[in-house]
Every structure is written in C-alpha cells, then in structure tokens.
Structure 1
Amino acid sequence: MAAQSYIAISELHPNFSHPTVVGIIIWKSDVKSFPDRKNIGTDRFTFGFTIRDSPDFFINVSAWGNDRYINGLSTSFRTGDCVAIENALVAHKDPEKEERFCPTTPSFYRLLVTEAHSQVCLCADMDIIDKLLPLIHLPVKDSRDFYSLGDIVANGQRLDGSVINILAAAKTIGQPKQFTTSDGRKGQRLEVKLFDDSVSSFPLVCWDREAIQLMQTLIPRESVLFIADAKISFDSFRNGMAATVTSKTLITVNPDTREASLLFSYAKQVSESGARDQDEKPDDVSVDSITDVYTVIQLKQRARDTPEPFFGITYSFISKLDLDSSVSKVIKMRCSRCKFQVTEDAQSCVNQLCPGRDQLFSATTGFDLLVDFTDHTGTLHTCTLRSPVAENMLGYTTEEFKSLTDDERTAVKWKFLLERCKIYVKILPSTKMKTGIKGIVLACSLADPGDVQQHMSALLQ
C-alpha cells in the first residue's frame, strides 16, 4: 500500500469511511472480558492501545470481539511496534469513559476495531517505520512538566490521590508476584524502585501484565522514564509515598529530552563511580538489635525470596581481604555530599548533578574495601567494608594504616584472612552484582569458638 494512502491521526473524522492509519504503539492494556448482554451466558472481550504518528498527535484504539480474536490480536503486537489499522470506525470520544480508563489524547476521536470490519497488522514499510520509531522516545506531556522524586517526598500526603508526571531512573526491577483475589481472579504485581539526584529509592507499582512486561525490558540504572499520569498515594505500610501505573499512565523509556539526558548522565555516574546508595547506609539499625543467624546459602536464598533489604549475622571465614594492595585501593576519598569517589587532589566534585556543586567542596577519607566471606555452604562475594566499620574491625584509623609498612599491613590482613569471624551484614538487591545481591558489613570481629559451636549446631539441626 502506498504511503500517501494512509490518513494522519490529526485529519481523522467520523465522516471518513474505510480509513487506514499507521502509528507506533505507545500504550497497551491487558485483555478484559464482560458478560455479553445480547448473548446471555457468553462474554465479550476487549483491550485498548494508543498509537502515535507525529510528535503532536496520538489516538486511543479499542478492540472488541470474542475470546479467540481478541487474545490473538493482543499477542500479535506490543508496545514499540509499528502497526497499520485498516477500516477502523472513527467515533467521538466518550469523555467520561476515556478520561477514567484510557490515556488522555489530543484527538477528539477514538478508533474502534472489530473482527468483522477491521484489520490490524504490523507495518512492513521500512520508510514509515523509520519515521515512526523516534516517536517512542518523545514524552506525551511537556518534557519540563514533571515532579522530581524530591518534590513528591517534600509534598508528602498533600499529593495523596493526585495524578502527576514523574521523571526518574529505574534502580531495581522486582520479580512479578502472582496472587488470587477473594473472588478467584488471578492477578500480578511488580515493584520498580526509582531514583534521581534528589531521592535514592522510590517505589513504582505495576498491576497490569502489559506494564510489567515493559518494565522487565528495562536496564536498571541505565533506563530513564518519563511517567505521564502516574497516580500518587500514601502507602501506610511503608509510611511513605508511592506511585502506581494505572490504565491512564503512559511511560516513555529513555526520553529524547534535555532533562532526561542529564538524569541519564547522573545515573551512569552513580553506577560507574560506586557512589553509595541511601540503601547502603550501614546505620539503619543498631547492630545490637540484629539477632538472626544465617549460613551463606540462607542469606542468598532469603535475598532471592524478598526484594527488601534485611539484616543478619553469619559465622564465616574472611576469604578475601586485600589490605596489602596499594593504599589508594584500600583508602578512598569521596565527596561529603553525594558520595562520589574523587581523587586526593580534587578541588571540586566530578558529579555534574552533585547537590553541593555551588558550595565549598568537602570530602571524606575512609577505608573502602570489597571482601568475600565463606562458610561450608558457599561464598558471598564482593561485600562492602567501609569506615568506620573497617576501622573498628582492624583497630587502625586511616592515618595510622597509611603509616604502616607493607609487612605490617600483611600482618593485619592475616589476623583476619581465613579466620572464622562473627559478621553482621545488611543484604540488599543489586543489579550491579552478578549474583543480584550485595552485602554490606555492619560489624566484624574474630568469632568466639563457643559462640560458633552453639550457633552452627543450631543451624545444622
């Protein structure tokens, strides 16, 4: 079919008969069913999607039909595909239904697709596809019209129930959780943790299968999202705000905007510099309150079962402790405000989005090590050991350690290496680690043999 025979979304009108429209899919809903009032005992099936053919115009499409047709049509394309729609009915919007259940569009109309009259197929014209593909990276709202996560947290419960736009980066993608409602319907839920330069972790909850599938394609710490019309609510369980993807929400992945580009650079710097996340702060709980004892395999198993950080004790051997590396690998300087690593002679922070860039630069020096610990069940690799925990464990300040000879540093290393220790840890999910989890040492000391025997025998029972 020739390109000129397609009708632009901006020109659609109910008077047109047999229009053919092309566009890139920027939103898609799950399939739903309703009792058919005309044929008692049968169901009608439906799903919706939104197509875009220009920076300024996009339109909602509703498909209706029987189970086989609708489910077959729904699985034939996904968000990001370019489609051609032949012979759809152009209808006036039903403002009440559209505004409640579908994304807001600039068009006065909507398209209706049925098996008897319409056809939807993947677009095969490469010239058209090349023109449509960049549209997937254009937000559907003004690219400057958004809340930062810091704005949301600062406004708190004043935003409860409101619908807003958010620009943030994906930090972690949870695992989908399946559930069955009290009336027997099956559902699913997935939680994404967002971050930006103002907040290190903020929950975004998805309930629709389509939204969940989109989220599972994201690369954590490398995907920036413009989330148009997210619902904000106060989560009493978390005692904080949370965002939810609804049937009105349109998500643009890696938007082609200046604001998104800045945030992408920040996310990349965070990932590459090893800047410490808020989650990594070791002072969330007092060490004295941690009592649960785990083997290494139990730590890994619990981390797989729950995406939330947790705390525990393990009686393990320190199997890697590179204290006799060069001092620059053991002791590092970081910006006091954003925790980016800086060189010893730095006069300013290299992080372009550091909240203190226009203020007097200050940095902190501390132990910054990665250690492994091992027991009879396995090894937990590359756990973070930083000051002041490392100073308490080793018995040296950074200045005292710098003044030690190479032989003295090696002696300190062998005091702990391959020795059984009592290690207090915080475990949290991490996309940067091959294992998917990260350990942070909160306290570590040589273990008392009686203590080890008591706890290890209890674990082996």
Structure 2
Amino acid sequence: MHSRCPCNVFQKVAGIIIGKTDVKSFPDRKNIGMDRFTFGFTVKDSPDFFINVSTWGNDAYVNGLASSFNIGDCGEKVSLKVVNYIMMLGNRTKGDRFCPMVSKKLLVTEAHSQVCLCADMDTIDRLLPLIHLPVKDSRDFYSLGDIVANGQKLDGSVINILAAVKSVGHFKQFTTSDGRRGQRLEVRLFDDSVLSFPLVCWDREAIQLMQPLIPRETVLFIADAKISFDSFRSGMVATVNSKSIITVNPDTREASLLFSYAKEVSESGALDQDDMPEDVPVESITDVYTVSQLMQKARENPEALFGITYSFISKLDLDSSASKVIKTRCSKCKFLVTEDLNSCINQLCPGKGQIVSATTGFDLLVDFTDHTGTLHACSLRSPVAEKALGCTTEEFISLTDGERTAMKWKFLLERCKIYVKIIPSPKMKSGIRGMVLDCSLADPGEVKQHMSALLQQRL
C-alpha cells in the first residue's frame, strides 16, 4: 500500500494554464459566520506532465487571483506548497475527486504563495505549444457514433471525446429556486459518424473558453467529459465538469484528419441539410412575430428560434413537375438520392458504403410575407406538408395539372397561421433558414387579435 507523504516541499513552477474551475465558497468552520473561498487550475509544463493547483483564502484574495489569468496563459508559481498523494480513488480526498487525475497537487495560499504571469519570452515560446497537446492518449476517445450506439449503457460514464464544433449556442444566465445564480452554454459537436451532438457547459470558465470558438473550423479533445441520458431529448448528452480538460485544435494525427473532414463536410452543405436542432411540440410554441421580427431575432440568436407568424404564402410551386415537389433523400445525410440507387452518392455520408435508407415526401421551398417583409426559401416537407395540403404524395401524383393549381391557390396569397423554426445557415444569403412546423389558413378574429397586440408593442 502506498501512503501519503508527510512532508511538504516548496518549489517554483512555471507552466501553461490548461484548465480552470469557477470560484466556490464554503462556511469557515474555524470562523463562524465567515466563508472560505477556493478554485482550482491545472498547469502543464511539458508534453507528458501536468499538475492540479488548489487555491484557498478569503474572498478578495481568491477572486482577485482567479480573475488575473485565464486558460492559455503562462503562469509562474513562486513558493508553492507541493503535496504528494496517491492516484487511487480510495485514497483521494473529497475535493480531489473534482480535479483532473494527477500524481501530485500544488496548494496556493495567501500566506505562502505567489502566482503571476510569466514575462520571459523564451519560456512562453516553450510553453505555448503545450496548450494543443491533450492530457490523455490522443487515440483514447469515443467517437460520437460510439456514444450514440452505446446509448444508456454509458449513462454516468466519464470518457474522452474527439469532435469538431458545429455551432456555439447562446449564453444563458438563470437563478435557481433557492436564489443561486447559474449559467449555461450548449455547443453542438459533429464527427464523421454523427452530424450533431450536444455538449453542455455549466461552469463560467468552460463557457468563456467555448464562446469564441469558430464553428466548423475547430476541433476539440475533451478529456473526462461526463456522458448522461437526457430524458427530455430522449438521447445522450455530454457535459463539461470540473474534471474535464478541453484541448482546442489538438496537435495530433487524429485531430488533423477530423479537421480535414470537417472542412469537406461543411463545404458540401451536409451540415446545413442536417442542421435540425430538436423540435419542440407545436402546441408549446406561443410567441407571435412579424416576419421582420423573426429575421432580426434569429440573426441575434445563434440557437434555433421557434415562433408563430400570421403571414401570406407568397410562393408555393405546387404546379411544378412532381419531381420538383416530391423528392427522395438519404435518411442519414439528407442528400437527394434516386430510388434506383443502392447507396448514397454523398462521399461524406455517415452511411457511405451501406445500403441506402431513404425517405420520399413533399420537399418544397416556400416564401411567406407580411407587411414587414418576406422570409424566402423556407422548407415545407412531409409530414407537415401532407397535413397542411390535406393530401398524401400518392394522391398528389394522381392529380391533374388543374387540380394541383387549385390546391396552390387555396393557400397562395391567403393569410396563414405558420409555426416556424429559424436556424443559422451560412449557405443562405440571409444567413438564416426557416422550416415550417405547421401551417393552416388563419382565423380572421385570431389574426386581428394578435396583430393589434403587435401594434401595441411597437407603440
């Protein structure tokens, strides 16, 4: 059995900050009514070694120190107390369970320690490349496809993930029922097996690291991410916790291959076609917008926007040839395919080489317009289109040209109640793309009521 070393050693250590936790406070047992404050950070000074640093002290000292540096900074720790301990969970302290696993830790206190940014350029030049080296074996990770395939078997597991950033969501702040303040950021990941997977960050430090990342041009190696089953989504989700170390654009072969794939799949348009954030039940959508409000709010919010608009259908090409109205798409990558093909022609399809799984249905682009503007090229697809038109694809194919035109004019230039989802889309000239979730002819009384309310808001 190993035992804890009883001696404390004071050393000077220089390294780059690769991880950092939020400041937390606890009641001070020695001084009733007072709080002690703490936060931790992780330092790397060579390709193979990193170490955890625990900081304790009063409010001013700890918060002042925490705000003086960020992940990626090169710090110089002077006269730090080094404490040896065992890399066995049974011998770790309660606090150690929330830190990355290492063989030693450093303790920073106001009385015995100093932390400052390194000013020596030679040292900085030596340390900076270390920020791109994962703290775990670069080959030891789960693909997103592995996570999805294992499903709830991984619930509660802590694993490593290598994935590219698809989108960075909107930073949200909230207050819990007991008055505590919190924050949340969701990042969507993808790789060559899954085109969208959620990663949630709750800590402010992790959020600050994630917010500036460039979607589709950034690869992450996330060491010790927690995997759990989200019953609301009915799927798996990854969470960054205090044990996690995130390496941005790792300098590894595996990351380089994924970066090349991310560039290719982004340019192919597959990410836009598959960019379908989880829909919410239509009946839960209650916010009403004009078209201009929808477009403005969507541009300000990088996440999916759900809303209702009472607008006119200004483009609905039902009288085009059936092949332009009804299309077949690959179920995995959403690329257009022909029914006689045995496999998807998209070279970047996650199901490449497999027997194609395809769906056939209405696949329309519609415009809707009100007094404030027009939202162009919104997707109206089955089964929403079938419900709105009151017609299946088989029934539509059997209609005459005159019957199709009559169906078109039932909606064209008529005021409709449209439930819509708006998402960012770099491929679109407007920068956004709309998807119709439900559509029906609007009740005049309902239109009058909501239009009056919107007018009152403008006044």
Q: In the alignment, which of 252, 256, 276 is matched to residue 279 of structure 1? A: 276
Write out per-residue CA displacement over residues 268-321 of structure 1, whole angstroms, 9 at most, x where no aligned residue: 333322221161899x98x9x8996944356458867894564x6644346689
Residue 130 (str. 1) matches residue 122 (str. 2): no
Residue of structure 2 equivalent to 1:240: 235
* TM-score between the two structures when normalised by the length of structure 2: 0.74
Q: Is the 8 A contact 2:227 2:238 kept in 1?
A: yes
Contact 1:425 1:439 (C-alpha < 8 Å) held by counterparts = no
Verify: 1:62 aligned to 2:54, yes or no: yes
Counterpart pick for 2:169 among 171, 174, 178: 174
| Cα separation, 2, equivalents of 1:261 and 1:425 | 41
Q: Does structure 2 conserve the Cα–Cα contact (< 8 Å) formed by 1:28 and 1:79?
A: yes
Query: What does 1:191-206 correspond to in 2, within 5 Å?
Result: 191-206=186-201
- Structure 1 residues 366 and 273, CA gap change in structure 2 (3 angstroms): farther
**Change in CA separation of 1:368 and 1:229 when aligned onto 2, cut-off 3 Å:** same
Residues 92-135 of structure 1 show CA distances to partners (whole Å, capped at 9, x for unaligned) of 13723354110112xx2211122233221212222222222222
Instruction: Go from structure 1 to structure 2 and tell me whether the alpha carbon gap of 1:93 and 1:321 turns closer, same or farther (over 3 Å shift).
Output: farther
Note closer, same or farther for the CA distance 1:38–1:263 as it changes in structure 2 (3 Å cut). same
Measure, in 1, the Cα distance between the counterparts of 2:252 and 2:343. 27
Q: How far apart are residue 372 of structure 1 and its match?
A: 4.8
Indicate the SS of the match to 1:127.
Answer: helix
Partner in structure 1 of residue 257 of structure 2? 262
Distance 1:361 1:142, change over 3 A: same
| Distance change (3 Å), C-alpha of 1:369 and 1:54 | farther
Equivalent position of 1:296 in the other structure: 290
Q: Given that residues 170 and 301 in structure 2 are in contact (C-alpha distance below 8 angstroms), is that contact kept between their aligned partners in structure 1?
A: no
> SS of the counterpart of 2:94?
helix
Distance 1:330 1:126 in 2: 63
Matched, 1:115 2:107: no
Which residue identity lines up with residue 80 of structure 2 in the other structure?
A
Q: Does 1:104 align with 2:96?
A: no
Could you tell me which amino acid in structure 1 is paired with residue 241 of structure 2?
A: T
Alpha-carbon distance in structure 2 between the residues aligned to 1:352 and 1:54:
40
Greater mean deviation of Cα atoms: 366-375 or 220-229 = 366-375
Post-superposition Cα deviations, 1:67-96, rounded to whole Å, max 9, x if no partner, equal 112111111110111111111111113723
How far apart, in 2, do the equivalents of 1:261 and 1:351 lie?
22
SS in 2 for 1:172: strand
Q: CA deviation at 1:369?
A: 7.7
- Equivalent-residue separation in structure 2 for 1:362 and 1:160 (angstroms): 29
1:75-86 equivalences under 5 Å are 75-86=67-78
- Counterparts of 1:49-448 in structure 2, within 5 Å, are 49-93=41-85, 95-97=92-94, 99-105=96-102, 108-275=103-270, 276-277=273-274, 279=276, 294-297=288-291, 299=294, 307=303, 310=306, 314-317=309-312, 337-340=332-335, 353-359=348-354, 372-381=367-376, 383-384=378-379, 419-420=413-414, 422=416, 424=418, 426-430=420-424, 432=426, 437-441=432-436
Provide the C-alpha distance between the structure 1 equivalents of 2:285 and 2:82, rounded to a whole number of angstroms.
Answer: 65
Secondary structure of residue in 2 paired with 1:279: coil
Q: 1:359 to 1:101 in 2, by over 3 A?
A: closer
Deviation for aligned residue 1:249: 1.0
Q: 1:423·1:442 contact (CA, 8 Å) conserved in 2?
A: no
CA displacement, residues 321-353 of structure 1 (integer Å, 9 cap, x when unaligned): 999xxxxx99999767534579xxx99978654
In 2, Cα distance between equivalents of 1:291 and 1:32: 37
1:400 is matched with none
Q: Percentage identity across aligned positions?
A: 68
- TM-score scaled to structure 1, two decimals? 0.74
> In structure 1, what residue type is equivalent to 2:31?
N
Cα distance in 2 for partners of 1:223, 1:372 equals: 34
5+ residue gaps, structure 1, are 1-12, 324-328, 398-410
Query: Does the C-alpha gap of structure 1 residues 333 and 232 become closer, same or farther in structure 2, counting only changes over 3 Å?
Result: closer
The one-letter code of the counterpart of 1:187 is G
Distance 1:211 1:362 in 2: 38
Q: Which moved more, 1:45-54 or 1:248-257?
A: 248-257
Deviation at 1:179, TM superposition (A): 2.5
Report the Cα distance in structure 2 between the residues aligned to 1:50 and 1:352, rounded to whole angstroms. 41
Find the aligned partners of 2:419 and 2:161 in 1 and give their Cα distance.
34
Deviation at 1:219, TM superposition (A): 1.8
Letter paired with 2:193: S
Measured against aligned partners, the alpha-carbon deviations of 1:199-240 in whole angstroms (never above 9, x if no partner) come to 333222222111111121222232222111111122222232
Q: Which of the residues 434, 443, 449 maps onto 1:458?
A: 449
Cα contact 1:90–1:111 (8 A) shared by 2? yes
Taking structure 1 as reference, are residues 181 and 333 closer, same or farther at Cα in structure 2, changes over 3 Å only? Answer: closer
Separation of aligned partners in 1, 2:30 and 2:96: 27
In structure 2, relative to structure 1, the CA distance for the partners of 1:293 and 1:246 (3 Å cut) is closer
Kindly tell me the number of residue pairs found equivalent between the two proteins. 430
Q: Retained in 1: the 8 A contact 2:8–2:81?
A: no
What is the distance in 1 between the residues matched to 2:277 and 2:230? 23
Structure-2 separation of matches of 1:198 and 1:113: 43
1:43 is matched with: 35
Closer, same or farther in 2 for the Cα pair 1:435/1:111, shift >3 Å? Answer: farther
Q: Deviations over 1:371-408 (max 9, x none)?
A: 65331244435534679999998x9x9xxxxxxxxxxx
CA contact (8 A) 2:304 2:424 kept: no
C-alpha change, 1:176 and 1:334, in structure 2 (3 Å) is same
| Aligned-partner SS, 1:141 | coil
* More displaced stretch, 313-322 vs 422-431: 313-322
SS in 1 for 2:18: strand
Q: CA deviation at 1:266?
A: 3.0
Aligned equivalents of 1:153 and 1:27: distance in 2? Answer: 27
Deviation per CA, 1:5-27: give whole Å up to 9, x if none.
Answer: xxxxxxxx96754x222111110
